[in-house]
Structure 1
Amino acid sequence: MRVHVTDLKPGDLLKNDVYNSSGLHMLMKGSLLSEDDISKLLQHGIDYADVEHTTSDLHSDTQTMPSDQTRLLATLFDDTIKGTESLFQQAMEKGFIDEAQVDEILINLTTQLEKQKDVVSLLLMLDGDNDYTYNHSLQVGMLAFYIAGWMGYNPEECLTVAKAGYLHDIGKSKISPEMLHKPGKLTSEEFEEMKKHTLYGYEIVKESTQDEILATVALQHHEREDGSGYPHGLKGNDIHPYARITAVADVYSAMTTNRVYQTKQELISVLCELYSLSFGQLNGEATQELIKHMLPNFIGKRVLLTSGETGIIVMNNPADYFRPLVQTSTAFIDLAKERDIAIVEIYIQ
């Protein structure tokens, strides 16, 4: 079937060789198209390609998770959030937590995460009305787990990073609920008290696990590469590698989640903000790995645009990775060119 290039998706099978207008051979018959291949076709002004399978046929089973899998993950996330609430209650009342309970939660969680590649869909599933602190702990543990894997850490190390990320905010159990849920801006005195959650977290994790690394991540996850963070204003390599990963996961989750004083931001635009932060505040490698592996997950997702139209993301734009090509019912909208249009929201399929 002859298909317009903007309708191609990674995984489509070429029926014929593809040549550009100068006769240069671009792609070989039988090739499974990658995102880079499609970008190359667009860059060379090629309008159509013959594919063996239509995009809808080939991707109908991959754009959405099977319903039974979705139910399993939803139950897992609900159970994890309930377990997280229990841990925060322990920390508030006793000053320590049950490490065996933490390990059980993390093993159940990461066992399922290892099977999932579409991190965007997982984040969209977590976009609910659960208490921010508990939901955020789950998200940061999950994202830290994935980032560590993408950076080449071995499975045991990835589990440790996930555990560190999951426990990074446990010190907030010692912050008053009124301050945690205050809808307005904190006063300078309140902010100084809020910053102590890193110190409280270090004490709780160290007391509970006797693990200096896990405790250090709780202490350092607000440190920044340029020394602008807290509590000690550390820079670069003075910050533990696991804390640098957790910081990236922490910022991304915080910016994409509803809070009492902040409305969530759209997932792709936050990746763009993280990209800017990676040139000073956040670790560049961890941020780049998150961006590189998240972007392909947006292809095939349904979106709402500021124009009021809904559409499907069909390709990450090689000219601007954070402003993709969107197919609506009537047109293709290149957000890299249509700068007055933006994505408002991304929907789980």
Structure 2
Amino acid sequence: MLIHVNQLQPGDRIMTDVFNDFGVNIMSGGTPLVRADIELLMKHRINYVDILPRQMETDRPNSWKTAHVESHVLPTYMKTISSVKKIFDSIQNGEQLLTKDLDDFTKSMISSIQEERDAVSLLILLNTDEEYTYQHSVHVGMLAYFISKWLGYPEEEAQLIGRTGFLHDIGKSKVPAHILNKPAALTEEEFEEIKKHTNYGHDIIIQAQGPCVEAAVALQHHERIDGSGYPNGLTGEQIHPYAKIVAVADTYSAMISKRIYKQSKDLLCVLKELYQLSFKNLEPKVVHTFIEHMLPSFIGKVAVLNNDQQGEIVMINPNDLFRPLIKMKAKFVDLSEHKNLEIVRIMV
């Protein structure tokens, strides 16, 4: 029974020895897995393993993954949101951005997630009721870090790109609160004011650090490769590579986030929309790498359908990536063959 590591449960037994990319035997066949073993497989970037057939499938609403995130990641996540808010508040009060404060929470947050392989679970479990602007900044920093690693950037550079993600919206600290927190769609004039946050962010970071990649990303994360973005209508290679990564993380996070005037969209549905944007607005390599590494994390998750039925995602359909195979009790439903069915929510 070949399954993705994200589907493993404590008590599963692997059938054969597991070797990492360097040929080192990291686990022997027949080993009954405990939580630490599953984390070890993830750490060594093992994607699939063969396990002995399970005697009985059980519901896992409170899985070890949920407990792990809530006990190990959530406290750091909440502290990071608080740190981002303090930075916004200090700038609103006329103070300068303090690089040391930024370094501290960036390193702490990335350290708590750098061994995680299941970004989907993180996004579901770390979607709290905190204020959108601050939570969004943390999500974008996390996603920018993950995407950078998936693209092959070395650890130190990936952490720097994550840092640019945490800072990308710092310019919103200069946008009037009644516009930033408006409980309705923005007027054209209000949207023009919101757009200024890219210039504000660039200036804030320049004043604190001088010319740097963080300032470039703050300025360019809303530029689009077809020239349709702002503030300068840059195209293609004119846009900093880090800004292209943060643009994808920013777009995905914004689309899955629930705001006062806007309902959140399902994580899998948004991946499909992101895929469409890769043909015009967003850097294709970044989007496709993001999707390639996110999709396996949906395996093992519970999908709620628009007919109120739910089941476990057991396979990604290679011919229709965003309409997977769902196991519902004693039957399997291939969503690629049932176009009337849609996933409306994903649960851990």
Question: Are 2:232 and 1:232 equivalent residues in the alignment?
Answer: yes
Question: How many Å separate the matches in 1 of 2:307 and 2:291?
Answer: 26
Aligned equivalent of 2:188: 188
Q: Deviations over 1:189-218 (max 9, x none)?
A: 111111000000001111122242110100
Aligned equivalent of 1:340: 340
Which residue identity is paired with 1:319? Answer: N
For 2:130, what is the secondary structure of its paired residue?
Answer: coil
- Rate the CA distance shift 1:94–1:313 in 2: closer, same or farther, 3 A: same
- In structure 2, the gaps of 5 or more residues are 6-12, 17-28, 30-45
Question: Are 2:276 and 1:282 equivalent residues in the alignment?
Answer: no
TM-score scaled by structure 1? 0.83
- Rate the CA distance shift 1:159–1:56 in 2: closer, same or farther, 3 A: farther
Q: Deviations over 1:57-96 (max 9, x none)?
A: 8x98x96416255312111111111111101101111252
Which has more radius of gyration?
A: 1
Aligned equivalent of 1:9: 3
Aligned equivalent of 1:320: 320
Which residue identity is paired with 1:134? Answer: Y
Question: How many Å separate the matches in 1 of 2:95 and 2:277?
Answer: 34
Describe how 1:1-349 pairs up with structure 2 within 5 A. Answer: 9-10=3-4, 52-54=52-54, 64-65=64-65, 67-348=67-348
Q: Deviations over 1:308-346 (max 9, x none)?
A: 112111111122111111111242111111111111111
Runs of 4+ in structure 1 deviating by more than 6 angstroms, as ranges, are 11-15, 35-38
- In structure 1, the gaps of 5 or more residues are 16-29, 39-49
Indicate the larger mover: 92-101 or 212-221: 92-101
- Rate the CA distance shift 1:178–1:307 in 2: closer, same or farther, 3 A: same
For 1:65, what is the secondary structure of its paired residue?
Answer: helix
- Rate the CA distance shift 1:222–1:124 in 2: closer, same or farther, 3 A: same
1:53 Cα offset (Å):
3.4
Aligned residues: 312
- Rate the CA distance shift 1:95–1:56 in 2: closer, same or farther, 3 A: farther
Which residue identity is paired with 1:218? Answer: A
Contact 2:136/2:254 (<8 A) preserved: yes
For 1:346, what is the secondary structure of its paired residue?
Answer: strand
For 1:321, what is the secondary structure of its paired residue?
Answer: coil
1:14 Cα offset (Å):
7.3
1:287 Cα offset (Å):
0.6
Indicate the larger mover: 64-73 or 102-111: 64-73
Which residue identity is paired with 2:194? Answer: M
Q: Deviations over 1:159-191 (max 9, x none)?
A: 110010110000000111111111222111111
Contact 2:271/2:291 (<8 A) preserved: yes
- Rate the CA distance shift 1:55–1:144 in 2: closer, same or farther, 3 A: farther
Coordinate RMSD, CA, aligned: 2.6
Report the identity percentage: 41
- Rate the CA distance shift 1:37–1:127 in 2: closer, same or farther, 3 A: closer
Question: How many Å separate the matches in 2 of 1:254 and 1:51?
Answer: 38
TM-score scaled by structure 2? 0.83
Contact 2:72/2:112 (<8 A) preserved: no
1:152 Cα offset (Å):
1.0
Contact 1:126/1:135 (<8 A) preserved: no
1:261 Cα offset (Å):
2.1
Question: How many Å separate the matches in 1 of 2:153 and 2:299?
Answer: 27
Question: How many Å separate the matches in 1 of 2:244 and 2:303?
Answer: 31
1:262 Cα offset (Å):
1.4
Q: Deviations over 1:16-36 (max 9, x none)?
A: xxxxxxxxxxxxxx9xxxx99
Contact 1:9/1:55 (<8 A) preserved: no
